[in-house]
Amino acid sequence: MMARSPCRSTLSCMSLSRKDSGRRRGSISWVLPCSLCVSSWLLSSSSLCGQLLPFEWLDLQKKSSVALYGTVAPLLRFNQSILVSRQDPSSRKKVVEEVKKRATSNGDWPQVLFFPEGTNGNGKVLLKFKPGAFVAGVPVQPVLMRYPNKLPATIWTWKGNGVFKVLWLTMSQFYINLEIEFLPVYHPTAEERADPTLYASKVQKIMADALAKPATEFELIGDTPVTPVGHLKVALDPKIWELGNILEKAGFSLDSVQGLIDLCLEGVCSRVGLDELAEKLGVTQHDVISRVFNYFHKDASGMIDFREVSLVLAAQDATRSAEELAKLAFDLFSTCDADGRFLLSADGFAAILRSVVGSPPAESGKVFSELCTYTELHGLTQDGFVRFAIRHPCYRHLFLFYLRPPSSGRRKPPHIQQNGGCSGKNNPRNQSKMD
């Protein structure tokens, strides 16, 4: 009833297609692609009952409309949905245990409905599957959704039309075509049951082939679309350009950046608070300086490293070459050892990647371990870091292309595979696939 009402209100035409999968259904159903905010409601009418929904979505409904929350919340509970909080690690663990319990209940629970991409997509490609629900290692039934309509009114993604405009475009059409196809149940191998990531990748390829759409490594972490670069996961749009834009609008000039860099190199300025940052940058707007301050990593005392600020500001300068930026990063974060050599430690390396790319220490630590050979056991020399930034077969694209300011007319980099290999066939920053 929950799904039939919106279907009828939009005069939707729904067709079901089920390929022979035997009498037994999979305990878990994976549905693709998820491009519409009401996809889960529509699927409820096709006998898929249990759902996994983010708890923040329910919170949003509660805050935006008390009346709507009072209607939606009971329906979710009636539908036996599993609510998960993206911000609470303990919530994720509880969800995994609940999924295991339902998936291995031998029919006591209905099929659990998942949208494995973890977010809405535009339906042109498949995003990387989240491996969480694959840990149960039980058979799954892939379910395909198609909207064969003339207008792409059902697409709601992180960029583009908002949810209300999408709903308006959907409601304004005489009818909406929706096709749901049930593929045969997939039984994992022993190797796939032991490796949820491998299992997820296999099912993604099966569904991609059936949809005739490419399977990608793009995924959404929090609210940020990312793509793999070796061991790193980098945002499709570097967030440092946002800082540059808001500082420019606030009247900050790049001409003063070199003076700030000199202060850091002389050791005069290291860790700063919010007020001191505003004084150093000469920005008086509190909302602007707060956004800049919150971008950077804070220590236990709530201070940020001004060297990271200087490096991000230096990256905004289109006249500075990639090699010059790499050498500056080394000069800012290297330390002198007992033998008088300047070396870049794991912490300094992590600070560089965290400030300009947004990589967490765990990811940058893996890269640093690979770079530190027997000749550089105690840290990277300047030559070693420049080789990483300019000549490494995979990571060099970060400094040569990814971190080039938009005004520099930078070329687009070749495709970077997840395993660190690179090829020139595709472009990982082709954002039209995620828009």
**Residues 31-56, buried b or exposed e (16+ Cβ, 10 A)?**
bbbbbbebbbbbbbbbebbbbbbbbe
**pLDDT category of residue 138 using cuts at 50, 70 and 90:** confident
Do β-strands 140-146 and 219-221 pair in parallel, antiparallel, or remain unpaired? Answer: unpaired
Q: How far apart (Å, rounded) are the C-alpha atoms in residues 423 and 176? A: 40
Tokens coding 411: 């070329």
pLDDT value, residue 190: 93
> Would you state the pLDDT for residue 435?
39
Burial class (CB in 10 A: 0-12, 13-18, 19+), 126: buried
Question: How far is Cα of residue 426 from the mean position of the Cα atoms in its chain?
Answer: 19
Please tell me which residue, 380 or 425, carries the higher pLDDT value: 380
- In terms of pLDDT, which residue wins out, 8 or 159? 159
Instruction: Give the Å distances, CA to CA, from 433 to 77, 217, 362.
Output: 35, 12, 28
Identify each DSSP E strand in 236-331 by its residue range.
Answer: 271-272, 304-305
Whole-number Cα distances in Å, 411 to 158, 402, 421: 25, 9, 19
Tokens at 380, concatenated: 């990277």
Average the pLDDT over 191-217 and give the result: 91
Q: What is the pTM of this model?
A: 0.69
In three-state form (DSSP H/G/I as H, E/B as E, the rest C), the secondary structure along 53-64 is EEHHHHHHHHHH
**What pLDDT is recorded for position 125?**
82
pLDDT reported for residue 420? 42
pLDDT value at residue 404: 86
Quote the tokens at residue 232: 């790193």
Q: What is the pLDDT of residues 333-365, one digit of tens each?
A: 998 887 888 999 999 999 999 999 988 888 888
Residue 250 neighbours by CB under 8 Å, 6+ apart: 283, 285, 288
Residue 263 predicted with pLDDT over 50: yes
- Give me the mean pLDDT over the 58-72 stretch: 45
For the chain, which residues make up each domain, given as ranges?
A: 4-216, 240-433
SS3 at position 16: strand
